[in-house]
Chains A and B, each alone.
Chain A
Amino acid sequence: MTLGFYPGCSLKGSSREYAESVLAVAKAFDINMEEIKDWNCCGATAAHNMNKELSLALPARILSLAEQQGLTEIVVPCAACYSRLTVTKHEMANNADLKVSVNEVNNLEYNGTVDVLNIVQMLDKYIIPNLSGRVVKPYDHKVACYYGCLLVRPHEILKFDREEDPQSLDELMLKAGATPIDWAFKTECCGAGLSVSRTPSVGRLSGKIIGDAVDRGAEAVIVACPMCHSNLDMRRDAINTYLGEKVEIPVLYITQAIGLAIGLDRKALGLQRHFVKVSV
């Protein structure tokens, strides 16, 4: 079978291991991921902070291209892209004038026929039903599933999982043989887009997340967002400075953990690309 695929910029650059692991897992289950041709950046935080029209036009272009390509369902592994695409769909569906003006800006027709799946929804729908017989190396570790902000909020638009104590990643990890822990920072913000402009703030916010995961005995943090990953992994120096100690807990994408459980090669999952060594 074939699914549409919107990787987004991070998955082509600093978080390429996320793309590698998504594609490796999809391939293992005979799913062909068809990339949207000539896709552009969703505009991310920068666009919606600076220019509302732009923040809707850029995601709308992506969705229009997917429509043109005949795709009905696209997988968007980056939680931030997923949020921008879903918010745009919502705004366009609820405001006819806006749809007209965005179509005019983009010089493209947008009809709203493409469904947007985040990575958890994709795994739930297409991988989990066939997973049980495939787990050859259960990921037998205590894991802290970290959802961050944009996978679960705002619930009014995303309508996905619970806002304060979501369970979807925990349930996936349970099926991959792990023991998800209860902890307090599942949906606290990592510092996101302040990574470069205010690194110490990210050290503080991400430090609290990593600190709580370690204090409660987690052996790995599981994420589904490249921004969360880069803050928790690449910004480990700032985190350690905030915590006043060196913590070595690795941070894995959900698709890397599932990939390990079904026996995929560590390198094919891009584990060697992390800043914090993945020892589990």
Chain B
Amino acid sequence: MSSDGHHSVISGLGGEVSAHTDVKVSHCYQCGKCSAGCPLSEEMDYPPSVIMRMLQTGNPYLEQKVLSSFSIWVCLTCEMCFARCPMSIDIPKMMDFLREKSLNEKKANPKAKEIIAFHKSFLDSIRYTGRLYEIGLFVDYKARTLKILDDLALAPKMMKRGKLNIIPELIKDRSGVASIFRKAGKKNKN
């Protein structure tokens, strides 16, 4: 028996979460404060406390549901759940792990397409210039999602106020940053 108590999860996805993040899903006693305080609960398929419960069961079917849930992507990492958890369970840290795993195993929920496209466009911008190039980000995001008309009115208004750079800011050591992406991205082909 582990020192963690009689209902600790040692195998399955809960065990993986614990090994990679130190977050123990067994510590959750289902008070529901995370779900009550989560600003995105109502847009989720499973609120945070239910995700915790699904992982506690160790049921592979439910674990797959977690990895392909919309919840893990619409989570904003606002950290409210962690702040209010009476057991100090770092749910946002767990969410980061679940997102990366869901992506690596190509299990991301189709409803999260735009959210993931935005992250990819964002990272691509940094990979090539070292800094975020906002116009490039918008164009790349539109190409990925075909949401051509969204926010079209915003760009000229931002331009008028001097809030958009036409030319990207290029750092000098771009090859150094590209190398960081290559090395850190070895496990992650996205």
Contacts and interface: CB of A to CB of B under 8 A. Distances in A.
Interface in B125-150: 126, 130-132, 134, 138, 141, 150
A14 B158 contact: yes
A154 interface: yes
A46 B74 contact: no
B180 A58 contact: yes
Interface in B88-127: 88, 90, 92, 96-97, 99-100, 103, 114-115, 117-120, 122-123, 126
A197 B190 contact: no
Contact of A13 (B80, B92, B163): B163
A41 B132 contact: yes
B126 A234 contact: no
A215 to B, nearest CB: 18
Looking at chain B's contact residues, is the secondary structure mostly helix, strand, loop, or mixed? helix
Contacts of B118: 46, 193, 196-197
Interface stretch (B8-16, B23-31, B55-63, B168-176): B168-176
Contact of B134 (A14, A54, A187, A275): A14
A155 B184 contact: no
Contact of A107 (B77, B80, B176, B187): B176
B123 A46 contact: yes
A272 B90 CA distance: 41
A192 B76 CA distance: 7
B161 interface: yes
B114 A16 contact: no
A105 B172 contact: no
**Which range contains the number of A residues in contact with the other chain?**
35 or more
A54 B121 CA distance: 15
Contacts of B161: 272-275
A45 interface: yes
B164 A39 contact: no
A153 B83 contact: yes
A13 B96 contact: no
A150 interface: yes
A207 to B, nearest CB: 12
Contact of A197 (B115, B132, B164): B115
Contacts of A13: 132, 134, 163-165
Nearest to B97: A52
Contacts of A30: none
Nearest to B117: A197
Interface string A154-188: 11100000011000000000000000000000011
Contact of A205 (B39, B83, B96, B188): B39
Interface in A239-275: 272-275
B96 A52 contact: yes
B157 interface: yes
B114 A38 contact: no
Interface residues of B, number: 60
B82 A153 contact: yes
Contacts of B5: none
Contacts of B172: 38
A57 B184 contact: yes
A112 B130 CA distance: 22
Given A40-B126, A156-B88, A197 B76 contact: no
Nearest to A149: B78
Nearest to A61: B180
A201 B118 CA distance: 15
B179 interface: yes
Nearest to A105: B183
Interface string A203-246: 00100000000000000000000000000001000000000000
14 contacts: A13-B165, A15-B163, A46-B118, A50-B190, A53-B184, A57-B184, A58-B180, A61-B176, A149-B76, A153-B78, A188-B39, A193-B76, A201-B43, A205-B39
Interface of A: 9-10, 12-16, 38-41, 43-55, 57-58, 61, 104-107, 149-150, 153-156, 163-164, 187-189, 191-194, 196-199, 201, 205, 234, 272-275
User: 5 tightest CB-CB pairs across the interface, nearest first?
Assistant: A153-B79, A189-B78, A9-B132, A46-B122, A46-B119
